[in-house]
């Protein structure tokens, strides 16, 4: 009977485990989508919203306003640039879609709303819609 002998280099095993092992966050065992971090401030005239969206292009961000409800969605697309002879050993960055909706205390005047995107932060200026005045109807 012939024994199978395999030569193993412990350093190869160390680096193989370091670079190839899947990244695990949380208890699910898979890379989870990061939350969109949002700050909302209110003053007498309206709301200021700051949403962190690092690595997202402004063309891939969408804001929808429906009365007092604001929805923000964004997509971070994966770059496919791999050079000849190059292989990906490990990737921990998240690519995909993320969205967030929240309700404000008062309806937003979407005609006066403003959005800017600078250094990975979306800044929304959302003026409050003037409250409708009750009208007394005259009876003929």
Its pTM surpasses 0.95:
no
Check whether domain 34-79+94-127 has CATH 3.30.300.30, yes or no: no
Per-residue pLDDT tens, the chain, 140 aa: give them: 555 565 555 555 544 444 444 444 444 445 555 678 999 999 999 999 999 998 889 999 999 999 999 999 998 877 666 667 777 777 667 778 889 999 999 999 999 999 999 999 999 999 999 877 677 788 88
Write down the domain spans for the chain.
34-79+94-127
Q: What is the rounded distance in angstroms from the CA atom of residue 56 to the CA atom of residue 69?
A: 23
Q: What is the DSSP letter of 112?
A: G
């Amino acid at each position: 009977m012939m024994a199978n002998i395999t030569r193993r280099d412990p350093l190869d095993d160390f680096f193989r485990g370091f670079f190839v092992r899947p990244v695990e966050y949380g208890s699910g065992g898979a890379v989870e989508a990061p939350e969109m971090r949002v700050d909302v401030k209110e003053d007498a005239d309206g709301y200021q919203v700051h949403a962190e969206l690092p690595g997202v292009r402004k063309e891939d961000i969408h804001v929808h306003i429906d009365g007092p409800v604001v929805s923000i969605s964004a997509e971070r697309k994966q770059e496919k640039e791999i050079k000849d002879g190059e292989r990906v050993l490990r990737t921990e960055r998240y690519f995909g879609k993320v969205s967030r909706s929240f309700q404000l205390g008062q309806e937003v005047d979407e005609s006066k709303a403003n959005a800017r995107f600078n250094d990975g932060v979306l800044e929304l200026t959302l003026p409050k819609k003037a409250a409708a005045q009750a009208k007394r109807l005259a009876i003929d």
